[in-house]
Amino acid sequence: MVDFRYWVTGQGREIHSIADDLAVRLGQLGDGWLESSDVSPKYFEFTPIEMHALTQRLKLPGPTCPDQKMIADIGNAVSFLNRVKALKVRGQKGYVGTSNIVWNSVEYSIALCKNLMALWLADTDVCRLEGLDKIKGTIRRLVVHYSMRRFKDLLVPEDNCIPVTQMEKWPLIEKIDCSFNRIEEIDESVHVLAKAQYLNLSHNSITEIGPNLQHLSGLVELDLSANCITELKSWNEKLGNLKKLTLAENSIRDLSGLSKLYSLEYLDVRGNDIEEIESIAPIGRLPCLETLLLRDNPVRKVLDYRIRVLESFKERCGEVKLDSKKADGKELDTINVRLALRRAKEEKEARELRKKQKIQEKINYLSGDDNLGSGKSRSNSNSTTSEPTTTQSN
């Protein structure tokens, strides 16, 4: 814990000074801010140092107010935090003023925010955050930028003694935005976020989603753009109810791993390494897909790219927006002709196959191999036929 008894900013202020300044400001303006936020919701911003100062000030001995007029009553700040519904804590890189104290090295608590519905952390260190478990019963939206490496650091209290999978779930959480961090894997601690409907993990270092997203049974929208994903093996087993999936700016070559995400309506795979139409065709079986974004992929250079991609959707080709545009009349005519030719070819191949099968059946019949069972029966019959007996004359 950093010693704040001689806290140095530009003018050298102690914890008392920081906390008292906040108390005065919130006493004068806090009620008005909260009333206006009821009409037009907004985040109220604090620094980690301010949050730390308030927490530490309440622990110090002495009166909560340094003056008789109660202008700087610390209770003003406590009351504000108890009532605030949307809080933003923004740190910054480097040192505080001319001191040797790092901005994000201080521990701070949000335990006073008993009615918090939205929390935004930016340029902080979630390992220094305390009290998140105190707001899990009210929080609906969680945003974390430039502040974390692992979900465990954010979601699992340091003194936790029970298995993560047995931890109490956040009952009201809906939206989670953990983009622009340094996350490499989605660990088992996301189990507590089972109620989440929206998850943004863009601009991280994720290579594989792993098995833990299957615990987010309510998840309908997932953003994994700008990560390090190369393969999509059996994603339907991990993302069964997903409706919107963003995978732009990765290194994906094949979409067949998404072919059983039957609830998917929107798919963005711009800026990947998809080269062949055949690696796209499997998602043509998705019955609900309406939007497909493939811009900035090598496959766009393939001759008749739009025609061939939309053709994979067969009768639904007119319902799908490819790169934000539905098929025009000319494209639909071409696709319908190609589909008709394909059906004719498939029917011809099916007829020829049936014809070959019938010929083979006749050959098998004439050779005695048409039915394995009857063949065995004849064989058994021959083997059990009694040999002629000879009688000896006396």
Rounded to the nearest 10°, the torsion over CA 76, 81, 87, 89 is 70
Q: Hey, where are the domains in the chain?
A: 85-329
280-302 pLDDT, tens digit each:
999 999 999 999 999 999 999 99
What Cα–Cα distance (Å) separates residue 371 from each residue in 246, 353, 380?
54, 20, 14
What Cα–Cα distance (Å) separates residue 212 from each residue in 145, 164, 188?
21, 12, 6
Residue type, 12: G
* Residue 267 backbone dihedrals phi, psi, to 5 degrees: -135, 120
Residue type, 70: M
Identify whether the C-beta of residue 163 lies closer than 8 Å to the C-beta of residue 187.
no
Please state, in angstroms and rounded to a whole number, the distance separating the CA atoms of residues 202 and 225. Answer: 5
Ordered DSSP codes for 269-301:
-TTS----GGGTGGGGG-TT--EEE-TTSGGGG
Q: Does domain 85-329 have CATH number 3.80.10.10?
A: yes
Tens digit of each residue's pLDDT, the chain (394 residues): 344 434 444 333 567 677 778 877 887 788 888 888 887 888 999 999 889 888 888 776 555 555 555 456 788 888 899 999 999 999 988 777 666 777 788 899 999 999 999 999 999 999 999 999 999 999 999 999 999 999 999 999 888 889 988 899 999 999 999 999 999 999 999 999 999 999 999 999 999 999 999 999 999 999 999 999 999 998 988 898 899 999 999 999 999 999 999 999 999 999 999 999 999 999 999 999 999 999 999 999 999 999 999 999 999 999 999 999 999 999 999 998 888 877 767 777 778 888 888 888 888 888 876 554 444 444 444 444 444 444 444 3
Identify whether the C-beta of residue 66 lies closer than 8 Å to the C-beta of residue 60.
no
Kindly report the pTM of this predicted structure. 0.82
| Burial grade of 162 (CB within 10 A; 0-12, 13-18, 19 or more) | exposed
Ordered DSSP codes for 296-316:
TSGGGGSTTHHHHHHHTTGGG
Please state, in angstroms and rounded to a whole number, the distance separating the CA atoms of residues 140 and 144. Answer: 14
